[in-house]
Amino acid sequence: MSLEKEQKVVELVKASFEDAEAEVQRERRVKVWVKPNRVFPLVAYLKGHGFNHFVAISAVDWIKDGEIELVYHLWSYSEKVHVMIKTRIPRDNGSMPTLKPLFNQAETYERDIHEFFGVYFEGNEKLDREFILEDWDGPPPMRKDFDTRLFSAEFYDQEDLESEALRLKIQPYKGHLRK
Amino acid sequence: MTKEKAPKGIKGWAQGRSLWMLHFCTGCGAIEMPPTMTSRYDMERFGITPMATPRQADLLLITGYLTVKTLKRVVRSYEQMPDPKYVIGFGSCTVNGGMYWDSYNTIKRLDLYIPVDLYIAGCMPRPEAIIDSFTELIKGIKEGRFDGWIRYRENIEFYKRNQAMVMDIRKWSLDTELAERIWNEVQEERKKRFERATVPHVYELAERIPEGLPK
pLDDT tens digits along B52-76: 899 999 999 998 888 888 999 999 9
Domain residue limits, chain A: 4-139
Instruction: Please report the pLDDT score of residue A42 as a whole number.
Output: 92
Instruction: Please report the pLDDT score of residue B211 as a whole number.
Output: 57
Instruction: Please report the pLDDT score of residue B208 as a whole number.
Output: 45
Which CATH number does the domain housing residue B35 bear?
A: 3.40.50.12280
CB B182: neighbour CB atoms within 10 A?
23
SS in 3 state form for B55-112? HHCCEEEEECCCEHHHHHHHHHHHHHCCCCCEEEEECHHHHHCHHHCCCCCECCCHHH
Shared-domain flag, residues B122 and B161:
no
Cis peptide preceding A101, ω within 30 of 0: no
Shared-domain flag, residues B122 and B167:
no
CB nearest to A150's CB, from B69, B155, B201: B201
The pLDDT tens digits of the residues spanning B156-169 come to 888 898 888 888 88
Taking the C-alpha atoms of residue A89 and residue A35, their distance in angstroms, rounded to an integer, is 9
Phi, psi for residue A19 in degrees, rounded to 5: -80, -5
Task: Please provide the size of chain A in residues.
Answer: 179
The C-alpha angle with vertex A145 and arms to A140 and A146, in degrees rounded to 5, equals 45
Give contacts of A 32-91 with B, CB under 8 A: 33, 62-65, 88
Shared-domain flag, residues B179 and B98:
no
Shared-domain flag, residues B101 and B172:
no
Higher local confidence (pLDDT), A148 or B43: B43
Shared-domain flag, residues B99 and B116:
yes
Taking the C-alpha atoms of residue B115 and residue B55, their distance in angstroms, rounded to an integer, is 18
Shared-domain flag, residues B179 and B144:
no
3-state percent breakdown (helix, strand, coil) of chain A, nearest 5: 35, 25, 40
CATH topology for the A4-139 domain: Beta Polymerase; domain 2 (3.30.460)
| Contacts of range A118-121, beta carbons closer than 8 Å, 24 or more positions apart | A118/A143, A119/A59, A119/A68, A119/A70, A119/A89, A119/A94, A119/A95, A120/A93, A120/A94, A120/A95, A120/A96, A121/A95, A121/A96, A121/A97
Quote the percentage of chain A above a pLDDT of 70. Answer: 87
In the predicted model, is pLDDT for residue B44 greater than 50? yes
In the predicted model, is pLDDT for residue A53 greater than 90? yes
Taking the C-alpha atoms of residue B142 and residue B53, their distance in angstroms, rounded to an integer, is 25
Q: Is B213 part of any domain?
A: no
The pLDDT tens digits of the residues spanning B174-208 come to 888 999 999 999 888 888 887 777 655 544 444 44
Judged by DSSP in three states, A33 sits in strand
CB A163: neighbour CB atoms within 10 A?
10
Quote the percentage of chain A above a pLDDT of 90. Answer: 35
Shared-domain flag, residues B136 and B162:
no
- The conformation of residue B54, written as its DSSP 8-state character, comes to G
The pLDDT tens digits of the residues spanning B114-154 come to 988 888 888 888 999 999 999 998 988 888 888 888 888 88
Shared-domain flag, residues B191 and B111:
no
The pLDDT tens digits of the residues spanning B83-120 come to 889 999 988 888 888 888 888 888 888 888 898 888 88
CB contact under 8 A, B72 and A150: no
Domain that includes residue B79, residue range = 10-154
Shared-domain flag, residues B69 and B95:
yes
Taking the C-alpha atoms of residue B144 and residue B6, their distance in angstroms, rounded to an integer, is 5
Taking the C-alpha atoms of residue B115 and residue A54, their distance in angstroms, rounded to an integer, is 46
Cis peptide preceding B124, ω within 30 of 0: yes
- The conformation of residue A137, written as its DSSP 8-state character, comes to -
H or E segment and range at residue B193: helix B176-197
CB contact under 8 A, B199 and A164: no
Judged by DSSP in three states, B49 sits in strand
Q: How many residue pairs bridge chain A and chain B with CB atoms within 8 Å of each other?
A: 110
In the predicted model, is pLDDT for residue B210 greater than 70? no
CB nearest to A145's CB, from B106, B197, B202: B202
The pLDDT tens digits of the residues spanning B1-41 come to 567 788 888 988 888 888 899 888 888 888 888 899 999 99
| Burial category of A97 from C-beta neighbours within 10 Å (exposed 0-12, middle 13-18, buried 19 and up) | middle
The pLDDT tens digits of the residues spanning A103-122 come to 999 999 999 999 898 888 98
Shared-domain flag, residues B189 and B176:
yes
Taking the C-alpha atoms of residue B92 and residue B108, their distance in angstroms, rounded to an integer, is 9
Q: How many domains does chain B have?
A: 2
In the predicted model, is pLDDT for residue B209 greater than 60? no
Shared-domain flag, residues B36 and B120:
yes
In the predicted model, is pLDDT for residue A130 greater than 60? yes
In angstroms, the separation between the Cα of residue B104 and the nearest Cα of chain A is 5
3-state percent breakdown (helix, strand, coil) of chain B, nearest 5: 55, 10, 35
Instruction: Please report the pLDDT score of residue A79 as a whole number.
Output: 86
Q: Is B28 part of any domain?
A: yes
CB contact under 8 A, A176 and B136: yes
Closest chain B residue to A170 measured between Cα atoms? B151
Instruction: Please report the pLDDT score of residue A167 as a whole number.
Output: 67
A27 shares contact with chain B (CB less than 8 Å): no
In the predicted model, is pLDDT for residue A40 greater than 50? yes
B71 shares contact with chain A (CB less than 8 Å): no
Shared-domain flag, residues B182 and B147:
no
CB nearest to B214's CB, from A33, A144, A148: A33
Q: Is B208 part of any domain?
A: no
Taking the C-alpha atoms of residue A59 and residue A85, their distance in angstroms, rounded to an integer, is 12
